[in-house]
């Protein structure tokens, strides 16, 4: 059972069906209550927590034991903060086995942007950069009630009308135009969600060597290496992956093969 509001069934279901033989059914729910990309509803959970919560909403409402759901985050990359990235988290819960797990896919291939503008201004360069109308847009008052936002705009006339209308609601007469990052409005996010689904399928094919439960895979990292350039200790450098079971406590450490940290993530070399 897949819980979603934003048309993810066709992105996830074919992959889980082809790779695992799973029949995925849709449960539509107002998952925006857990937070929105555009900020009208503040996110209080981490992306992985939100994905698990969504999956559990569906199992509760439909009385099924298997649930899946996804959540994405778009913003400065955690390793390359001068670049924007999209990390898609996809959760799987199995109430009968008492297990839950989250897989992810991180990509720099995401179309997203924003601009503050006013009626009559030429924003054609911005529209080209954010792949409009293939990727849809949101218009909000720049200074004012963001709940007045108009979303899913994919037509030039509708966009201009929204800018004209919502500029009147802003105290500075301007609007914020930003990418609509909901899954059904962002083709580049859609591809990343598909890749996350492939990662989940691969994870579920892997059995725990101790208890034979599906879902054996990465559960964390061991970190900390000396910089290869200056020798300074880099706390965030990944030294090894920790593999684990989604049900039992069995863990194994898989060395990354790296014995020095890349200078690009060293605070000494790149303060």
pLDDT at 103: 95
The token pair at 53 is: 């919560």
Q: Output phi, psi for 74, to 5 deg.
A: -125, 125
d(CA 245, CA 229): 37
The token pair at 73 is: 């985050």
d(CA 2, CA 8): 8
Instruction: Give 78's pLDDT tier (boundaries 50, 70, 90).
Output: confident
pLDDT at 264: 86
pLDDT at 37: 64
Closest to 2 (Cα-Cα) out of 48, 49, 71: 71
The residue ranges of DSSP E strands in 170-216, in sequence order, are 175-179
Torsion, Cα of 168, 173, 178, 181 (10° steps): -30
The token pair at 98 is: 């008492």
What is the pairing mode between strands 99-107 and 217-226? Answer: unpaired
pLDDT at 39: 67
Sequence-ordered alpha helix ranges (H) in the chain? 9-20, 47-62, 124-129, 156-167, 187-205
The token pair at 232 is: 């300074």
Instruction: Give 81's pLDDT tier (boundaries 50, 70, 90).
Output: confident
pLDDT digit string, tens, across residues 22-62: 999 999 888 777 767 666 777 788 999 999 999 999 888 88
* Domain locations along the chain: 1-108+182-205, 114-180, 207-271
Closest to 86 (Cα-Cα) out of 74, 76, 77: 74
Across 130-151, average pLDDT: 93
Most confident of 23-32, 144-153, 225-234: 225-234
| Fold adopted by 1-108+182-205 | Maf protein (3.90.950)
Instruction: Give 125's pLDDT tier (boundaries 50, 70, 90).
Output: very high
Sheet containing 150-153: which strands, arranged edge to edge? 114-117, 175-179, 137-141, 150-153
Across 235-263, average pLDDT: 92
Contact 162, 140 (CB under 8 A): no
pLDDT digit string, tens, across residues 93-120: 999 999 999 999 999 999 999 999 999 9
pLDDT at 217: 94
Mean pLDDT, the chain, integer:
93
pLDDT digit string, tens, across residues 170-210: 999 999 999 999 999 999 999 999 999 999 999 999 999 99
User: In the chain, pLDDT over 90 holds for what percent of residues?
Assistant: 80
The residues pairing with 178 across neighbouring beta strands, listed in sequence order, are 114, 138
Instruction: Give 63's pLDDT tier (boundaries 50, 70, 90).
Output: confident
Instruction: Give 250's pLDDT tier (boundaries 50, 70, 90).
Output: very high
């Amino acid at each position: 059972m897949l819980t979603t509001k934003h048309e993810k069934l066709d992105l996830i279901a074919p992959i889980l069906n082809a790779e695992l033989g799973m029949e995925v059914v849709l449960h539509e729910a107002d998952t925006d209550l857990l937070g929105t990309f555009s900020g009208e509803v503040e996110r209080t959970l981490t992306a992985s927590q939100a994905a698990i919560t969504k999956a559990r909403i569906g199992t509760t409402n439909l009385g099924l034991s298997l649930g899946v759901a996804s959540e994405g985050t778009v913003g400065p990359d955690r390793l390359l903060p001068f670049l924007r990235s999209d990390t898609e988290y996809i959760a799987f819960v199995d109430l009968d086995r008492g297990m839950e797990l989250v897989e992810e896919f991180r990509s720099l291939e995401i179309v997203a942007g924003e601009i503050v503008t006013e009626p009559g201004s030429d924003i054609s360069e911005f529209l080209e950069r954010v792949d409009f109308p293939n990727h849809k847009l949101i218009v909000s008052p720049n200074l004012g009630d963001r709940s007045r936002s108009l979303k899913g705009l994919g037509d030039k006339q509708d966009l201009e009308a929204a800018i004209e209308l919502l500029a009147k609601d802003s105290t500075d007469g301007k609007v914020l135009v930003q990418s609509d990052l909901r899954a059904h409005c962002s083709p580049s996010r859609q591809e990343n969600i598909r890749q996350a689904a492939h990662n989940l399928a691969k994870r579920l094919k892997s059995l725990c060597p101790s208890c034979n439960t599906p879902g054996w895979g990465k559960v964390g990292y061991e970190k900390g290496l000396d910089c290869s350039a200056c020798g300074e200790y880099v706390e965030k450098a990944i030294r090894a992956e920790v593999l684990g079971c989604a049900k039992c406590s069995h863990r194994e450490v898989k060395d990354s093969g790296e014995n020095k940290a890349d200078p690009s993530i060293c605070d000494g070399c790149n303060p």
